[in-house]
Amino acid sequence: MIPYLILCTLLVPANLWATITPHLHSELSMRLLHALSTAVLIPPLVSLWRQRRKVQPLPALLLAPFSIVLVVVNTHIALMGMGVRFGWIDHLFLSIACLAVLVFYLLKGDDGEAENPKEEQTA
């Protein structure tokens, strides 16, 4: 989990840099950046789906459609290459999405937490 969160953290400035300097990166680096950013969004979507009965509806309702759209768009960009109008907006959204993934996993409690906090104190 730690390497995944480090990757998410590194993708934030990488996508912000791509926002500031649109289309100054090479074709290969652009495809790699979009592919990695897409791969980072898959685990929280799977986690949201598996725990859909337990998660709070409002954050899930905001994160899931946003992530799904970014996965679809960035998969297309990673496969088709550069030439996307307003691509800098996509990189800005990817930065926001990577931050949302970090918040999602850092604020999420452990699966092994006790239901009753008093149970932990007596154990």
Q: Is the pLDDT of residue 23 over 70?
A: no
The whole-number pLDDT of residue 118 equals 46
Q: 3-state SS of the chain: helix, strand, coil percent to 5?
A: 75, 0, 25
Q: What percent of the chain has pLDDT over 70?
A: 81
Q: Is the pLDDT of residue 37 over 70?
A: yes
Using CA atoms, how far apart are residues 2 and 100, in angstroms rounded to an integer?
A: 16
The whole-number pLDDT of residue 123 equals 47
CA-based torsion, 81, 87, 92, 94: positive or negative: negative
pLDDT digits (tens, 9 = 90+) for 75-109: 888 887 767 677 788 888 888 888 888 887 787 65
Q: What is the CA radius of gyration of the chain?
A: 17
Q: What is the mean pLDDT of residues 1-11?
A: 82
Query: Which is nearest to 26 in space by CA: 67, 94, 81?
Result: 81
- Those residues with Cβ within 8 angstroms of residue 3's Cβ, 6 or more apart along the chain or in another chain: none
The whole-number pLDDT of residue 109 equals 59
The whole-number pLDDT of residue 82 equals 67
The whole-number pLDDT of residue 81 equals 74
Phi, psi of 36 (to 5 degrees): -65, -40
- Are 57 and 64 within 8 A, CB to CB? no
Break the chain into its structural domains and give their ranges. 2-106
Q: Residue 18 carries which side chain, given as an amino acid letter?
A: A
The whole-number pLDDT of residue 42 equals 86
Q: Specify the higher pLDDT residue, 116 or 7.
A: 7
